[in-house]
Structures are given as structure tokens and as C-alpha cells.
Amino acid sequence: LFEERKFLRVLSKQSVSPPPVWLMRQAGRYLPEYRELRTKAGSFWTMAMTPELACEITLQPIRRFGFDAAILFSDILVVPFALGLPVTFVEGEGPRLPAINSVDGLIRDPQAWLEALRPVYDGLAMTRAKLDAQTPLIGFAGAPWTLATYMAAGRGKDEQRAAKLWGYGDPLSFDALLDILVECVAFHLIRQLEAGADAVQIFDSWASGLPAAMFECWVIEPTRRIVEKVRTAHPDAKIIGFPRASTLEGYERYAQATKVDAISIDTAAPIHWAVRTLGGGFALQGNLDPIALIAGGDALLRATDEILDATRGLPFVFNLGHGILPDTPIAHVEQLLTRIRSAR
Ligand code: CP3
């Protein structure tokens, strides 16, 4: 019985040995069963917005590997979509949406957000109903800053230049954009919790490369407000924050100020640093290099052991430092899981 729902116990700051494990982007192109379904469905967006398909894809990696948590198959760009921006995925190039430089025309009506996002909540509820009761289901959203970078550039672009130019050049209207995003992201997380999500993760994938003062207003403060809103609606909500590739000082400040339950750290953040600095007050998640998982062999085992050794006795969730890559061999995922599960 004590083996149950290890992932949620870790988010409550208990240490569990061996640690629970899931992988960011665990439902995706490295799985033949995913590629097969995608060929049939036609597009990624169709799959994400069709509840039965999103549910099936969410369950695929759980059936194959028995991960300790499932993450809903969806995308961070469903929030800009709910705000009225059509999102498309160009094969091999990633997402495209109309680039905006003002908030004029963005949809601010929560009833309309609900209509647009209903397939996500239906898919989540369906998944929760089908998933084994012992396996927690994670909902998620992009953080306002990362979403703003896509909305300002119309795509995921280098250096987040368009969003920075907007933020520096017209801070009032950029703050208005972040305000709308705070509302819509909080709404989206709350709805996912109500549809059956057991925890939520906030992805700030483009949190790197910001001056400290901008990191404070564009990354930390919007996220702090979202956490506050989610906890007002659901005081016990478990929230993981992922300000990817922030400075170490940035991670620390983010953790203290936003009050998330867990911090997901990227590949470059030293695990010993994270343990020393955050290990007491926060659950930690991370941070195997996705390329070490592709490499496999001794390098993979060494990197895995280093993380396991550093985090022993602490509330810790084993994960990657960023999403699993499409060319990852399935045998290496199995090798990783065997190693983690034989750890003490
Ligand atoms: O983790 C999971 O398995 C859940 C599903 C999930 C997806 N995207 C599915 C997806 C999650 C949590 C995301 C988050 C996401 N989406 C982020 C934050 C995490 C990160 O990686 O930094 C970002 C920045 C996006 C935006 C996005 N969506 C991009 C840049 C791309 C193209 C990337 C690529 O590799 O082609 C997507 C598409 C996408 N989202 C795919 C998947 C499985 C690939 C779709 C396909 O071609 O089949």
C-alpha cells in the first residue's frame, strides 16, 4: 500500500525510494504506437483536440513502461488558441500562430475559453477514468512569459527577441498581455484540476537569458499570481514549476517567490546545487540529459546513478532536464527504468 501514488507523496515532500519517474514528452514520436496513430489522425493538433485520441496517446507510455505518473497529451499553445489565435504545426518546423503586438482582439471571456478548451478537459476526464487509480495524472500549461514569446514572434524563435522588444518598448501593453495570460493560464489549470488532474506543471521553457529584473516581472511575478489563484480555488493543489535554464539564482528566487511545491530543473543545473539550495523546502524533479538517454550504455547509467545518489533521502521525482527526443531508443528508456527501480 505504501507504494501507492509515490509521485503525489513526493510532491507532499516525503522521500520515496526508489523515486517515482516520468519523462517530459513521454507521449510522443519516439513511440511507434504514437507514430502509427499520428499517421492515421493526420495532424498533431487533431490528436491533441480529440478527447479519445488525446486519452489514448496519454495512456500509451503508461501501458508500455508503467511510469509513475501520466501527463495529459496536449500542448502549451492551447492557451493562445483559446485567446483567439489559430495555431498550426508545420511539419519539421514546429508551431506557427499569427504574431501579435497588441492585446486588441484577444478573447477575454472565460465562457469562450471554456468552449475552446472543452476537448482538453473532456480528454483529461476520460483519461482519469481509464487510468489505473494508482497512477496520478498531470495537467499542465505554459507560463505567461513562454506563451508571450510564441504570441509575439508567431513561432518559437531565438532569443525571444519579439517578446523582449514588446516588453521593453511598450511595458504597459506587454503587462496587459501578461495579465490576460495569467487569467487564462490559471483558468486552464483550475479546469484541469476539476476535470481530474492530480497535479499540474507550469512550463516556462524560455525562461533563460533574461536580465534579473525582467526575470522578476516576466517570469516570477506572473507565475506567483497563477499559483495564488490556483490555490485560492484549490488549496491543496500540487504545482510543479519549470523555469527552464534559468540562472541558479533565478531558480532559487523563483522557488521562494512563487511557492510552487516542486521545482523541475533542467539538464545544466547541477543536481548537488539543487539539493543543497532547494532540497529542504521543495520537492525536486529532474534532470537527466535527454542526449544521455539517446547515448545509452555506461554514460546513461553513470548519469542516472549520479542523480540517484545526490537525491537519496529527499523528496525527488526522476525526470529528464527537458523533453525526450524523437530519436530516443526504447531500449534505453527500459534500461533507465530498470536502473532507477533497482536503486535503494
Ligand atoms: O509531456 C508530454 O508527453 C505531454 C505533452 C506535451 C506536448 N507539448 C506534446 C507535443 C507537453 C507537456 C508539451 C509542452 C510544450 N509544447 C512546451 C513546453 C515544454 C518544452 O518542451 O519546452 C513547448 C515549448 C511546446 C510548444 C511546441 N509544441 C513545440 C515547440 C512543438 C514542436 C516541437 C517538435 O519537437 O516538433 C510542439 C509540438 C508537440 N507538442 C509535439 C508533441 C508530442 C510533437 C508533435 C508531432 O510532431 O507529433
**What does the pLDDT read at residue 92?**
81
Q: How far apart are CA 151 and CA 99, in angstroms?
A: 5
Q: Is the per-residue pLDDT at 2 higher than 70?
A: no
How many angstroms does the Cα of residue 34 sit away from the middle of ligand 1?
A: 13
Using 50, 70 and 90 to split pLDDT, how confident is the model at 344?
confident
Using 50, 70 and 90 to split pLDDT, how confident is the model at 143?
very high
The β-bridge relationship of strands 88-90 and 70-71 is unpaired
What does pTM read for this prediction?
0.97
Q: How far apart are CA 87 and CA 96, in angstroms?
A: 6
Q: By the 8 A CB rule, do 258 and 241 touch?
A: yes
Which of 266, 307, 251, 261 shows the shortest CA–CA distance to 282? 261
Q: Which of 38, 224, 225, 244 is catalytic?
A: 38
- In three-state secondary structure terms, 248 is helix
pLDDT mean over 275-292: 96
* Per-residue model confidence as pLDDT tens digits over 44-96: 999 999 999 999 999 999 999 999 999 999 999 999 999 999 999 988 888 99
Quickly count: other Cβ atoms within 10 Å of residue 164's Cβ.
19
Output the average pLDDT for the chain: 96
- Closest C-alpha residue for ligand 1 atom 8: 75
Kindly give the number of the ligand 1 atom that is closest to the alpha carbon of 140: 12
How many angstroms does the Cα of residue 338 sit away from the middle of ligand 1?
A: 26
Q: Is the per-residue pLDDT at 293 higher than 50?
A: yes
3-state helix, strand, coil in the chain (%, to 5): 55, 10, 35
Q: Which of 68, 75, 204, 266 is catalytic?
A: 75
- Closest C-alpha residue for ligand 1 atom 10: 75
**What does the pLDDT read at residue 109?**
98
Which of 279, 293, 282 shows the shortest CA–CA distance to 322? 293
25 among known catalytic residues: yes
* Per-residue model confidence as pLDDT tens digits over 218-265: 999 999 999 999 999 999 999 999 999 999 999 999 999 999 999 999
- Closest C-alpha residue for ligand 1 atom 5: 73
29 among known catalytic residues: yes
Name the percent of the chain lying above pLDDT 70.
99
Residue to mutate, 39, 76, 189, ligand 1, most ligand atoms under 8 Å from C-beta: 76
**What does the pLDDT read at residue 3?**
59
38 among known catalytic residues: yes
E strand intervals along 19-166: 70-71, 88-90, 94-96, 137-142
Ligand 1 surroundings by CB, under 6 angstroms: 24-29, 38, 44, 71, 73-77, 89, 94-95, 140, 156, 203, 205, 323
Using 50, 70 and 90 to split pLDDT, how confident is the model at 1?
very low
Q: Is the per-residue pLDDT at 152 higher than 50?
A: yes
pLDDT mean over 195-223: 98
